[in-house]
Amino acid sequence: MAIRSKTFRESYYEDIKLFKTIWIKSWIGLFLMVLAVLPLIGDPYIIYLINISCIATIAALGLNILTGFTGQISLGHAAFFAIGAYCTAIISSRFQVPFWICLPASGVLAACAGLFVGIPCLRLKGLYLAMATMSFGVVVEYVVITWDSVTKGVRGISVPTLNLLGYPLDSNNKLYYFLIVLTALAIIAATNLMRTRVGRAFIAIRDRDIAAEVMGVSLTQYKVMAFAISSFYAGIAGGLYAYVMEYIHPEHFTFLLSVQYLAMIIVGGLGSILGSIFGAVFITIIPEFIKGLAQFLTLLFPAIEDKYDDGWNIAAFGLLIMLFLIFEPKGLSGIWTRIKTCFKNWPYTY
């Protein structure tokens, strides 16, 4: 770790602060300013995409805590997301419960589901754990479809507008600020968690579980805790999703969504908070980007127009993920670190 010259630290507290230099603080300030003015000038569709990215970011942070940091692979993340979404949808539409109860309730309910899955899965690793979590996902999907009296099955549920202290957030532009603030909170909380005692224990379990246990980390306690925290994030994200979409349907929460979350943290960078953000935004935005590119190409070469359909988008998306796995195993956060080091050392490249 290189420290810029003329940087002096006088206490260990200064050494562990998140934003250490005036440079980082100003960059973050600038970024927040851009985010703040974006709804005033941006296209509503772009704002909608950012909203969806925010939700994906919170869910991906959760999965990264479990899979990236603790090393417990999960293919059932969509199930916890669905539990959160349905919790919010049901209690807010039937009982007119306000959001500040709905969202925490969604998180807690999903965390309880996380405990329910985590405890029997304690002894499972790798592929077996992937299978177990995947089957939980299938079970939840099935329950959501068939438990008609509560979830309204395949008819779906309409969700009332989020009401923030008497101020209804009835458009994407209004939801935007709310989501940005919550996402920022989630990011800060995850970052702090990962650099303190609990986070270190998670990483230790991932890297060397036996050594971690001999150092005094209870594998049982921390693996279950990782499951619960991860599901909590997914539950909150699910609740927000219900508010943003205004209508939820079992088809939104299929196995494919779990795979998508896994793709986010792999493309973004396993075991990296920044990676979860990059990955979530990337995976959310890139299909739109591919669509735009395809439209542009059909303008250039009218001959391919009748051959183009949605399948090509999915294929391009898959190809992109494969290329990432091959050429950039550390994901977008790896690229980011390289660029940052490059600027830090400029003009002396050593």
Partner 1 sequence: MDLLEIRHLSLNFGGIVALKNVHMTVKKGQIHAIIGPNGAGKTSLFNCLSGVYIPTEGEILVEGKNITGLKPHKIARLGIARTFQNIELFANMNVIDNLLLGRHIHMNSGPFSGSFFYGKALREEVGNRLKVEEIIDFLEIEKVRKQLVGSLPYGIQKRVELGRALTMDPKILLLDEPAAGMNVEETEDIARFVLDINEELGMTIILVEHDMGVVMDIVDEITVLDFGSKIANGNPREIQANPKVIEAYLGQDE
* Binding interface with partner 1 (CB under 8 A): 1, 11-13, 15-16, 189-190, 192-193, 196-201, 203-204, 207-208, 210-219, 225, 229, 271
| Among the listed residues 200, 255, 258, 263, the one whose alpha carbon sits nearest the alpha carbon of residue 226 | 200
Query: Cβ 107 to partner 1, closest distance in Å?
Result: 13
3-state secondary structure of 167: strand
Nearer Cβ to partner 1 (50/226) = 226
Output 139 or 188, the one with its CB closest to partner 1: 188
CB atoms within 10 A of CB 276: 33
Cα–Cα distances in Å, from 54 out to 50, 61, 97, 135? 6, 11, 23, 27
Least Å distance between CB 17 and partner 1? 10
Give least dist CB 65 to partner 1, A.
10
Q: How many other β-carbons are positioned within 10 Å of the β-carbon of residue 257?
A: 20
Q: How far is the CB of 69 from partner 1 (least distance, A)?
A: 10
Q: Which helix H or strand E contains 136, and what residues bound it?
A: helix 126-146
Contact between 190 and 69 (Cβ < 8 Å): no
Q: Looking at this protein, which amino acid is placed at residue 310?
A: D
Place of tokens 């619960």: 228
Specify the residue, 18 or 325, whose C-beta has the smaller distance to partner 1: 18
CA 232 to chain centre: 12
Among residues 14 and 288, whose Cβ is nearest to partner 1? 14
Give least dist CB 203 to partner 1, A.
6
Indicate the residue among 234 and 245 with the shorter CB distance to partner 1. 234
Q: Cβ closer to partner 1: 250 or 269? A: 269
CA-wise closest residue to 201 among 181, 180, 216 = 216
Shortest Å distance, C-beta 15 to partner 1:
8
